[in-house]
Amino acid sequence: MAVCSLVSGRARDGALYSNQWRREELMDPPSEAFFAAARDSIPRDLVAAKGINYMRACAILAIASIQNGQIRSMQKYSGLYHTLTSMEGLHDEKLWPKDLDPIEIEERRRLFWSIYTLDIYATVVWGGVIRYREAHSLVRYPTEVDDEFITSQGYNVPPVSPETTPFPPSGATVVSRQPVTWLRGWNFTTDLYRILEHVVDGNRRRFSSVNGTTQVWSLFSPSFMSEPIVMDRVLTLYSELPSQFRETPPITGDMSKDLFGFQSANIQATLQLLRMVLLSVEEIGVERKCDVAGELLSVFSNVPVEYLKAINSPLLHHLGGIGYILGSVMEGNLCEASYIRVRTLLLEMANLLQRLETGLHRAAGTNERLRSQVDRIDAYMRTSRLLDLTAASNTMQVSDAKAELAVPSAYPQATQPVGTTSAAGFDQMPQFQLPPELLADWPWPIDSSNSEGFFPLAFE
């Protein structure tokens, strides 16, 4: 029932990439009906909720709650899951039942690391605490073997494929290798969330003095590492992945192939989330913020929209991070060139949202709101004689198309970042500040002072 609730919500929100299914048929019964059935099956006394299926149900209900925009419900079922895992000892394989077969072992490993990544993601977006640390987790990664080679009796070795030229020279050695499985990309995404765990800790420790406690973490932790240093190391690991996880070809309709494309898209989205969290505590100027926002939009714009729809509601919070970056630019000091650059990025984001809004009901209307906001600001600037759109447009067209990316290897598929220009010296141009009322309808709250997460809630 929990799985049906999640699938129904995803179908409602357009996460169907094939004509094999009819969206209307999958929306009835609604997600909420399945959710209620799953909820009612969980004993009030959690001591009676023994076994992996109750843990799985709570975990999936937490994900379904995100899909349906019920964040307090997500926290509730995530908390129930973590309570059950502590009672069952899921965090330590030595505490597992001794009679588990390989299928049951792999199910537990996948469950544990799936919800580990959800825990980190929820902490980044909505705040709160990380329940399980990687240092406390004595669970192996899922074995990188396709499901058909895992049986209750053991692990079968998949057939090797020769890796050589079509017509090898006489006497040449034929090198064989195991086929790449989609779990390779899945495990790499988990690696990224483990890195995020430490980035979150580092960022929060920088502000921990406000709680009045003695700082002891500095005795054990290295100094803060900047975004370029961390991303350089992460992208080195990324470059070592098989090519299937660094490319996002168009959807084929063949699940065995498209599953690799989805893993690649998920890796790209997680890389951008990591980068935004790294930058969230750094003081960067208007030009740098525009560079970052443009690079992030380039990545998402180059991923086939079907994969973005498959990521579904969580993707909105990634885009919300970009919206928050641009909002912080709009509320600060601007000049004509900086506004034109942000304006270009906002319209590009509106175009991306328009591609997604055919299914994502929580994003419905956001692209029109962005366009309307741009129109209102344009009108204000014309009235105030602060903007000549014709001249500014010509300036954008002749700008240097070879602007250097801050972290170029992060965007192997992207062409020129959206909205980047070589216009330098924004700070040397005449500056102005937009009236606060022009930003009152901004889709992402600009003031994050009341939010524990790194980015304000998106599309709420």
In a domain, 167, yes or no: no
Residue type, 385: R
Residue 183 lies in a domain: no
Are 150 and 225 found together in one domain? no
Tell whether 95 and 234 lie within a shared domain.
Answer: no
Task: Pick the range with the lowest mean pLDDT from 126-130, 205-209, 325-329, 452-456.
Answer: 452-456
Give the CA radius of gyration of the chain.
Answer: 24
Q: Is the pLDDT of residue 406 over 70?
A: no
Domain count of the fold of the chain: 2
Do 282 and 401 belong together in one domain? yes
Peptide bond into 162 cis (omega under 30): no
Residue 191 lies in a domain: no
Q: Which of 139, 155, 171 lies at the terminal end of a domain, its last residue?
A: 155
- Structural domain span for residue 333: 202-207+221-460
pTM, entire model: 0.81
Render pLDDT for 188-247 as a digit per residue (tens, 0 to 9): 999 999 999 988 888 777 666 666 677 776 677 666 678 888 899 999 999 999 999 999
Lowest mean pLDDT among 308-322, 392-406, 430-444: 392-406
Q: Which of 8-22, 199-213, 406-420, 434-448 has the lowest mean pLDDT?
A: 406-420
My answer on whether 301 and 380 are in the same domain is yes
**Cβ-Cβ contacts under 8 Å for 356 (sequence gap 6 or more):** 14, 305, 308, 309, 315, 363
Q: Check whether residue 98 and residue 247 sit in a common domain.
A: no
CA separation (Å) from 147 to 56, 154, 362?
19, 12, 34
Domain boundary pick from 155, 170, 188: 155
71 and 151 inside one domain: yes
Are residues 151 and 234 located together in one domain of the fold?
no
The better pLDDT of the pair 53, 394 is held by 53
Match 């929990």 to its residue by tokens. 2
* 226 and 94 in a common domain: no
Query: Bridge partners of 155?
Result: 150
Domain-located, residue 186 = no
The domain boundary, picked from 137, 155, 173, lies at 155
CA angle 112, 118, 123 (to 5 degrees): 130
Q: What is the pLDDT of residue 425?
A: 53
Beta bridge partners of 177: 161
Same domain flag for 305 and 418: yes
Q: 287 in a domain, yes or no?
A: yes
Give the DSSP letter string of 178-246.
PPP-HHHHHHHHHHHHHHHHHHHHHHHHTTGGGG-----GGGTSPPP--HHHHHHHHHHHHHTS-GGGS
Could you report the per-residue pLDDT of 374-395, keeping only the tens digit for each? 888 888 888 876 666 555 555 4
Residue 178, domain member (yes or no): no
109 found inside a domain: yes
Both 137 and 232 in a single domain?
Answer: no
Neighbouring-strand partners of residue 432: 334
Structure-model confidence comparison of residues 158 and 96, the more confident one: 96
Give the whole-angstrom CA distance, residue 399 versus residue 402.
Answer: 9
Check whether residue 360 and residue 456 sit in a common domain. yes
Residue 455: predicted pLDDT: 53
Residues 416 and 313 both lie in one domain: yes
Is 338 part of a structural domain of the chain?
A: yes
